[in-house]
Chain A
Amino acid sequence: MTSKLLEIKDLSVEYKTEEATVYAVNGLDISLDYGQALGLVGETGAGKTTSALSIMKLLPAGVGRVTSGSIFLDGVDVLGSSKKKIGEMRGNTVSMVFQDPMTSLNPVMTVGDQILEVLKIHKNLSKSELSKAVDDMMEMVGIPSYRKKEYPHQFSGGMKQRIVIAIALVCEPKLILADEPTTALDVTIQAQMLALIADLKKRLNTAMILITHDLGVVAQVCEKVAVMYAGEIVESGTAENIFSGRYRHPYTAGLFGAIPKLDEETRRLETIDGLMPDPTEKVEGCRFAMRCKYAEDDCINTAQTMVEAEPGHFIRCAKVG
């Protein structure tokens, strides 16, 4: 039995449709301690959400498939577990906050019932205890508990996301997967929501994987950072490692270049030229090579391995170290 909360090794996931096979995740390794927060950063289509869904075994049935690797969560072999065992873990050991609060709530069920539902499945409590737990949770995410009889359409986007967070946290899971929890919200609400997540994480001592394409968000909440590109992790380390900028993967450097700096006068933000490689094709060498200004022909033809640039800071690039 591992002492880690989450141990993902060599995970590969593909989506098979009638037209093509998409290689969404390719040999992913992630490990996370209890109570730790990891920021999973990357652009749309990098495989972040797919990785999170695999942890919950929620890949779209019949389309998404894990082709290799293993996932151990709290000592349980997720991929080898029965449907029943997974059902017991979902919402209880691990829960997920989805991207769009507008659509993640059932429109014909009161919000109170939607929070209550998770508790009822996993916790053996009396009626009054259940009701109290729902009230407490609502207050904790900043919604007055008298509103539990209301339906999702009576709440604003930010309020809905609070309810989604309440659903995710009410059973006090050991791990929360937050999939771009602030993207669909107004900028002013985003900050509130991040503060709320950070606060709740600390109070409940929950571990978290925060999926985002926003490095600023990561800096606020996470101790560890992993940068994903085209289905694999290209750089990982502590937040300090990544933000210090002593060593950087060219892609991460590109991401930082795309952040506006207030202290410098910049005409244009730097962009990364080109697009991600076609995910329906298997790539042999470095996936970023086509867009990398340092790339040489050799980068395209040989697979890159993670290089430890400084203690605990790994970078998948031939040019580092």
Chain B
Amino acid sequence: MIKVIEPNTDNVTIKAVKALMTEIHRDDAKDRNKDRNYVNMQVNPCKMCMPMGGALALKGVKNAMTIIHGSQGCSTYIRRHMAAHYNEPIDIASSSLSEEGTVYGGSKNLKIGFRNLVNMYQPEVVGVLTTCLAETIGDDIERIVREVRDTGEFEGIDIIPIPTPGYGGSQTEGYFDTIKALMAYFVKKPVHVGKVLEEALEPLEPFINIILSDATCEDVREIKRMVELFGVKAIFIPDISDALDAPFTNHYNKLSEEGISREELKKVIYAKATIELGDLVGPNHSPALFLEEEFGVKAYRLPLPIGINNTDCLVHALAEVLDTDIPKALEVERGRLMDGMIDAHKHSATGDIAVFGDMNLVMGIAGLVLENGMHLKLAATGSMSKRFKEQLESKLDQYHQKAEILQDTDYETIREVIQQEGVNLMMGPSDGKFIWEKDHVDFIRVGFPVHDHVGAQRKNLMGYKGSLIFLDEITNHLLDQKHKGYRDRMYQTYYPKKESHKPIQADEAVR
């Protein structure tokens, strides 16, 4: 049943008692036995499909173009979603599979598509993503791509087939699989390895591979700056920082010259280490583990650097890899974050928080929520991940909290839990706007997609600096809740009224 959330959250005494009582009943609290209310359906989906993640990863590769092998809609939907979020033109080709292509195989369409997109865009790299349709009709894109390469028509262009069946997982798996496919292509190709070895004879500047999921363009820039403070270069795979947040210039180039170059991609095996931020996909999807197993590049799989503890993980890993002290500048930033956490802590304690969206982002934000003394009421993702539940549970134990944890869930269920738990602030992508609109729960938009606000690509919530900016935003939301209507609410609650002279029962007051 849906219950109306009381806007009255300011009464400190009642709040505290309420919290205490929840703690008392914590042991009795039953886990929801299922992640979704509907058994046979997703009702208001909290996930997208694999090609979306693939398209995003390819946007962070220099001079790369993407073609989605499927019907025209797949590419158009993805373009629309990304264009609304990043406010950048998003050009993604489609093989525009028709009835004929579906029956007789889509190889002809795909080949024509290559020719057209190469003529129009002159890319260096072409990623070929599959879809539900292409995979279901059984098109062998490896073979088709081989045939295309063999024509010799596309000399100098790296064409990379990447299987991303829409039903195979969420955008998160699609993102990591695409990074892995890019690496596998560039580092395995013997002719390139030969070249790289030649280049390797020249002393390579030390560098670190960074794989970062669910990051905004500003987050990428911030982490890059942090790594560079260690006096080492970072290669981001992919690097969306400027590609999807391009400054205005007087010459628009429809193929982005920003992002990781194929030359850099060939070098990733010479990195000091790979740090993969966002560690919840299974090991078989992890590009860092792939590089470690195949080429011996040390892999670190860490949570997203959101909040002080998670950012410490990154900073300590960097110090360990480089065998060096933590830069002074970062110590200062860390101190500033602690200062901000102290400033905010009593306000933080008024937060009853729900976080939803991409699993790595939810996990990162949950870390910040818990370490600041907010009450985590719900952590939810549409993806499937055992590690998501396990890691969150152990984190909750650490802070003596209990929260609903939902994986493979939908917004219908998320809404119900938010109502039941009396959440006063929710964080997640714009799809949460339906709850915001109907139940008036305060809402910070974060993650992907954010299509009803501007600036999502410039938001910074990672690193010490980003965490503080984000914490301040949360605190200010909570403060506004306290101050909004304060005088009127106090008058209504405490000013003696004639009819309220009868004694109030204690439990009535806390309800």
Are A and B a genuine interacting pair, yes or no? no
